[in-house]
Amino acid sequence: MQMVIDNQKKELRHKLLEHLLSLTKEEIIRRSKNVEEKLSSLPIYKESKVIMVYYPLPGEVDILGEIRKEINTKRFCFPVTDLKAKKMRIFEVKNLDEDFIPGPYKIMEPDIRKTKETDIGEIDLVIVPGLAFDYQKNRLGRGVGFYDRFLVGLNRSTKKVGIAFEFQILKSLPVNLSLDQKVDTVVSESFVV
């Protein structure tokens, strides 16, 4: 059964990545602005003071504009990949233009010499990227498991919001119940689950 689920996930990842990488820069900007508007209007976002976010990969929802707008009123933390420990550490970023360096997966990460590590217990909200989400709030990541392992360690009070483009929100996803972590809410350009 697990092999079937893994194969379904692999096929879905391939199809979704293809679609994401086919989006034009203009389309990503337009769609991302709509996601930002929906996200910023959520009470949970408005009330949160310490938010973990991500630096977007090509094709992903880009909320850096929203972060720039709020960086003086909220604390934003980004993950740093610790390959040895197979986990993510989080660091608070104060300057989106100067505080990043390329990480092991070519994802921009906080430069740990310029930023301050943040305790996971301080986080009010985690903005979670994903290749897909479903209406039961399951998430399909890129298959490495860093986010699933990270989300398990959060306080119960910490909210998890997945953000994605509409076409990434599917009716249902293949799920490994013992590993895959759900989110509390999913936000797209035009609706919230």
Q: What is the pLDDT along the chain (193 residues), one digit of tens a residue?
A: 678 888 888 898 999 999 999 999 999 999 999 999 999 999 999 999 999 999 999 899 999 999 999 999 999 999 999 888 889 999 999 999 999 999 987 889 999 999 999 999 999 999 999 999 999 999 998 877 899 999 999 999 999 999 999 999 999 998 887 788 999 999 999 899 9
pLDDT (0 to 100) of residue 174: 85
The model's pTM = 0.92
| Tokens read off for 85 | 């420990």
- Residue spans of beta strands (DSSP E) within the chain: 50-52, 75-82, 87-93, 100-102, 108-110, 116-117, 125-128, 132-134, 139-140, 159-163, 169-170, 185-187
192 and 185 in contact (C-beta within 8 Å)?
Answer: yes
d(CA 153, CA 127): 15
Residue whose token pair is 């707008």? 69
d(CA 126, CA 129): 10
Alpha helix ranges (H) inside 71-158: 146-152
| Tokens read off for 50 | 């310490």
- Which residue, 83, 86, 53, 58, is CA-closest to 69? 53
pLDDT (0 to 100) of residue 7: 83
d(CA 58, CA 181): 23
d(CA 165, CA 175): 20
Side-chain-side CA neighbours of 144 within 13 Å: the count stands at 13
d(CA 115, CA 100): 9
Q: Tell how strand 100-102 and strand 125-128 pair up.
A: unpaired
